[in-house]
A and B are shown apart, each in its own frame.
Chain A
Amino acid sequence: MRNLIKEFTKGIIKENPTFVLALGLCPTLAVSVSVANAIGMGIAATFVLLGSSLIISLVRDFIPEKIRIPCYIVIIATFVTIAELCMKAYSPALDRSLGIYVPLIVVNCIVLGRAEAFACKNNIARSFFDGLGMGVGFTLALILISAIREFLGSGQILGYALVKGFEPIFVFGMPSGALLVIGLLLGLFNLLKGRKV
C-alpha cells in the first residue's frame, strides 16, 4: 500500500510531468490562458491517463513488442474519444474554448510516455496510481500556470476580478507569456530542488 501511495505522489512534485519531466508542453502552452480551461484540460487528460494506463497494463502481455505503439495509440484514442464526446455533450462552452487540444490528447507525450515507461512494465494497481498521480500533477501544474497567466494577463481568476485598478499585462495572455511563465516556473522548480542544470 505504501508503494502505491508513492506511485501516486511522485507525479505531483518529484516527477511532475510539466515541471520536471517537461512533457506535454504544447497543450500546457496552448490552454493555460484561463483557469477554467486548465481545469477542463486537466480532468480530460487525467481521465485518459487513468483509462489508458489501466487497459495497457491489463493487456501488456498480449501486445507484440513490435507493434506496441500503434496498440497504445488505439487504446488512448478510445479514451480520448470518450472524453471528447462527454465534453461536447455536457460542457459545449469548454469544448469550444479548448478546441483542437482535446483530440490532441491522443498524441500528448505524458499519456504515451507513461504507457511506454510505466504501464507496460507494471501491474494494474501500480499503473492506476501512476496514471492518477501524473494526471493530478499535470492538472495542478496547468492550474498554477493558468492562474498566474490569467491574473497577470487579465486581472482576473476564474472570471472574478481580484485587484481594483490593476492594469492587465496583456503579454501574459499571449503565447509568449506562456513561454515566459513556464520557463520561470521550471527555473523555480530546479531552484527549490537544488538541482544544477
Chain B
Amino acid sequence: MLNNLIVSGSPHIHKPESISRIMWTVVISLIPAGIAGVIIFGWGALWLTLAAVAAAVLTELIFSIWTKKKITVLDGSAVITGILLAFNLPSGVPLWLPIVGAVFSIAIGKQVFGGLGQNIFNPALVGRVFLMASWPRYMTTFTRPFSYDAVTSATPLAMLKEGKILEHISYLDLFLGKHGGCIGEVCILAILIGAAILLIKGYISWHIPVIYIFTTAVFTYIFGSGKLFGGDWLFHILSGGLILGAFFMATDYVATPLTAKGQLIFGFGCGLLTAVIRIWGGYPEGASYAILMMNAATPFIDRYTRNRIYGTK
C-alpha cells in the first residue's frame, strides 16, 4: 500500500500529462502541415521527413546507450526535432541532407548539452542553420509547387528581396501554400490547424506566437517599404517560416522563458529580429536566426522576469 504513495514536494496537483504525452501530441499537430507539404511538393517531401525522423531517433538512441542514460527515444522529442528539421528544408534536397542535419541537431544541438531539458537552443533550428551554412546551394533551391519535379522557383520573400514584382501571388495563395518554400512552412492553414490543437490542449500559451507575429507585422508595416507606414505586413506574416516558427519552434519548452512576462519579451525580440533580418539583412528570411538569437538570450530574460515570491516585496 505504502508503495503506491509518492513522496514529493509541493505542488501536489496531479495531471495525466507527461513529457511523452505532450510530445506525441505535438507530433500529431504537425501532421496537417506535413500532409499539406506532401500534397504541394509530392512524395519527396514525405521521404525527406521520414529520413530526418529516423536519423534523429537513431542518434538519440545511440547517445542514450553510449552515455548509459535512461533511453528517452520513445518520449517523442527526437521525432519532433526530425519533423521540424525536415519541415525547414526545401523539398528538392538530396536525401542525405536531412540525415546529416538530424544527426547534427540531436548530437550537437541537444545531447552534448545533456539531452532533453538541457539544450539551450532549439535542436531543429541548430540543424537547419548548420545545413544553411554548410550547403547553401541546396538550402536555397526551392521547387515550384505542384510541379513534382526539378522546376525551381524562388520563395516570395526571396523575390521581394531581389525587388521582383509579386503580383501573381495572392494572399490566398500564400495562405494555402501555393508558392515556393520549405516543406512544412508553406501551408499556413495546415499549420494553424496544428497550432489550434496545441492551444486548445493548453500545451502552448498564446504569449510567444501572438506577440511574435504581431511585432513582425508592426515593424514590417512601418519599415517594410521605401516610405514609412507603407509595408505589406500581411504578406510578411503569410510568407516564409514565420507562422511555423512562431507556433512550433519559438514555443519550445526548454529554450524559452518560463514566465508570461519573459515570454512576451521573447516574442517581441523574435519579431523585431525577424523583421530586421527580412528588411535590412542579407538573407530573405530570418525567422530561424531570430529564434536562435532569442534562445541565447533566454537565461538572461529568465533572470530579470522572475515572479515575485508571495509575501515578499
Contacts and interface: CB of A to CB of B under 8 A. Distances in A.
A170 B112 contact: no
B223 interface: no
A180 B130 CA distance: 11
A172 B130 CA distance: 10
B108 A170 contact: no
B172 interface: no
B108 A180 contact: yes
Contacts of A187: 112
B133 A174 contact: yes
B144 to A, nearest CB: 24
Given A180-B108, A187-B112, A167 B135 contact: yes
A171 B134 contact: yes
16 contacts: A167-B135, A169-B134, A169-B135, A170-B133, A170-B134, A170-B135, A170-B136, A171-B130, A171-B133, A171-B134, A172-B134, A174-B133, A176-B133, A180-B108, A184-B112, A187-B112
A170 B139 CA distance: 13
Nearest to B112: A187
Interface string B127-145: 0001001111000000000
A174 B130 CA distance: 11
Contacts of A170: 133-136
A170 B130 CA distance: 9
A145 to B, nearest CB: 17
Interface string A168-196: 01111010100010001001000000000
Interface residues of B, number: 7
Contacts of A171: 130, 133-134
Residues of A contacting B: mostly: helix
A176 B133 CA distance: 10
Interface in B111-163: 112, 130, 133-136
Contacts of A176: 133
Nearest to B100: A169
Contacts of B135: 167, 169-170
Interface-central residue, A167, A174, A180, A184, by most chain B CB under 10 Å: A167
A169 B130 CA distance: 9
A57 to B, nearest CB: 41
Given A170-B133, A170-B135, A172-B134, 10 more contacts: A169-B134, A169-B135, A170-B134, A171-B133, A171-B134, A174-B133, A176-B133, A180-B108, A184-B112, A187-B112
A169 B133 CA distance: 8
Interface-central residue, B112, B133, B134, B136, by most chain A CB under 10 Å: B134
A67 to B, nearest CB: 41
Nearest to B130: A171
Contacts of B134: 169-172
A172 B135 CA distance: 11
A171 B104 CA distance: 12
Interface in B156-189: none
Contacts of A167: 135
A166 to B, nearest CB: 12
A177 to B, nearest CB: 8
Interface-central residue, B112, B133, B136, by most chain A CB under 10 Å: B133
Contacts of A184: 112
Contacts of B133: 170-171, 174, 176
A150 to B, nearest CB: 15
Contacts of B136: 170
A175 to B, nearest CB: 11
B295 to A, nearest CB: 15
B63 to A, nearest CB: 13
A182 to B, nearest CB: 13
User: Shortest 9 CB-CB distances between A and B: which pairs?
Assistant: A171-B133, A169-B134, A171-B134, A170-B134, A171-B130, A170-B133, A174-B133, A167-B135, A176-B133
A167 B138 CA distance: 11
Interface string A158-172: 000000000101111
Nearest to A152: B134
Nearest to A187: B112
Interface in B66-89: none
A170 B100 CA distance: 14
B201 to A, nearest CB: 37
Nearest to A183: B112
Contacts of B130: 171
Contacts of B108: 180
